Structure 1
Amino acid sequence: MIKQIYRREVNPTGSISSDLWPAAFDLSHASWAASVETLQIDLVASGWINLFTAMLMPPPEVELRWAGVGPGTNAEIKRAYSALMGRFFGRATLRFDHGCRWLRQVVDGLELAPGVHLRRRPGHLGDLPDWVGWDDFNDCWVVAEAKGSHDQGDWLTVNPPPIKTALKQLARVQIVDASGPIAFKTWAVACRWGTEANLLPPVIITCDPDDDGRQLEEWEVSKVREESRARWVADLLDGLGRPDIAAAVRSSDLDGASATEDDLVAIPTRSGYAALAIEAGGLIPLIGLDRGERAAALLETARILKRGTALVMLDRSAVESAIMRTGPDDRLDANLRRAWWADGYAPAPVPPDLVEGVAGPVRTRAVPPADVPKPTDLTVDGLTFRTEVDDIGFLEVGTSA
């Protein structure tokens, strides 16, 4: 399902702002991002398995506008929902608009590659940013922070408070090896929610401050890029109930590759390691010899309770290439992305109150209609989010899809 939001890209000081423009946002991207977050930090699957449609205003509303006052009731629950939704929509924006791949949860001292660590800067207290991953447009590591907010201030001409907070968090970390600090890309992304009650325009702002340090040598880029991919795959395998294979991926243990023949789940053209997402029930890994029978029982229970379901599956080929550190040559091209944006603009009406005070001309982008049929599955970076769960199969050892 496609919804409309308003986009801005700003510099860290807020003194330079790109044009404000309406843009299409594909909710399947946010659902894919939510499935990754759920695997990494053990969330409970909620509305995202139905592409958020249960929480949003129905057609003919074309904007990304939450029903009522938005998810949650009291202030504490609304803040929790907003933070989670900010991560989902922020991850999707970073992956599909800015080439940020294989984002992992930030912890102080996290090893990114042999001898390379993310650390808190000395003397910098407070919360750390959300993720560290790989920037395919700039061939370097990236650290990112996402915010979701109901803030009713000016999101159209200045840096709102959530962006300012995110920038402070980004400044608290560094990436280092034996030679000292390594340069990396940073992104702050903030989503301001429009709701049926507040009538505010839904806005996503992205901001990319600079960071200093040693630039990676050309010979290092391919090596550490594959390491970023592999460690992301390992994190997902933990969430899919296969810590043994995750350990083999992290250590690049070629002998552990034989374990990848176990617990395979199949859908048309793909096989891998999977979990069922059940609305309000979380992710249930499909592992063990009785996984087929358990999956059938879970799906029947979900149908009786009228709970939404989805399948999340990590390709077996992605796991094997992660162990070998031989991922596909699928580097994203920043020039192609810029050309896509430049060629896609077309005249469209913009409400005058949305553009008052915005410096420069207002760009607009043709937005697909909201009734475009949603796909039954989306595969990105080897991870499939699939809303059709009636045709899954279960492979025995030594077979393939």
Structure 2
Amino acid sequence: MEECTRLSSQNVGVDVSKDTLDVVFSTMDLKRQVKVKASRKFSNKLHGFKDFIKWIDDKSIEGFEPTILLEATGVYYEQFAWFLYERKYAVSVILPTKAKRYFQAIGNKSKNDKIDATGLSRMGLEQRIPLWQPLSKDFYRLRLLTRQLEDFNEQRTVILNQLHALSHSAYSVKEVEKNFKKLLKELDKGIVSINKSIEKLLMEDAKLRPKVEKIITIPGVGVRTIAVLLAETNGFETFENQGQLVSYSGYDIVHNQSGKYSGKTKMSKKGNAHIRRAMHLPAFGVVRCQVTPLAALYKRLTERGKTKMQAYVAVQRKLLILIWALWKKDQAYDPTYHIKNISDNEESKLLFSLVSKGDTKKIALERTRATLDELPYNESPEVLFSLL
């Protein structure tokens, strides 16, 4: 009873590998002192999950529900996280980069599975980490399809490059060329099949289809782009604002300034690479189709001396925010909205309106700095994006 009155919270840190779960159970008292209570290793299999449940229930103090913190190690954590989630345990999952930075901050110089699990248990006690929300089954299936499509397209590019190199080599071998073409043919069949499956999954869902059809009213944006965004974000369900989405996608801005020193400001790229890859071609498409205000943004940045690729990255970020806003509001893109110039130095923040089907009333997107094309970038000429 005395221990219970002194206890503030308890957390279980789990370092996940392909075969094992290294577990450390830690507690924090009212003076915020962290103490390791127990540690153990379990198998990363169903029987190991069941043993873990018995162990944690035995170690936990009644009235203090433990939270469980996992590191997202590839796909090896998913079965365990699902097992805990279905049994109503409070489970959180963080990216390895975030855990690594925390370990560095607390002075961990060595690294092994037990040390990492100890660090995770302490991190779970000291920081407020959101609970894990798994993908729905349809979005999980969609993610598997979109990622396989991405892999097939990458393999196709490799084979085409090898065929091109073979055609310019000093000596050609017909058998090698034949094998490459055979692989290419099989990949093309697979790509066609996956595309059909993706479109079928989206269009046969009564809830998803109307919203997808509204998003693809943006010229240059297709079903595959929307499929990747939905699959990687769980249908945008876990994002309360556009800043969270921008950060998750790796489009957030990193400053490097201290005192009089002002280093280069750049995009972090510490986020979901699948989203950034999916936004690459649509950025070209919306600029080519002169989609307002994205084409205007591209033009202004290139006129300021930015490279074309820097301008396209800025377009990717703005396009992602536009898609997110349209999806959340369940509204279609309105290409007829005209930008109103307020003054020579400031453009209207109302860059485009969001209009529902059958509704003629124009509803402006939230007045937020992230929707600006023209911004007072006084701190650094390298900033490409609006800062949240």
Structure 2 length-normalised TM: 0.23
Please say which structure displays the higher CA radius of gyration: 2
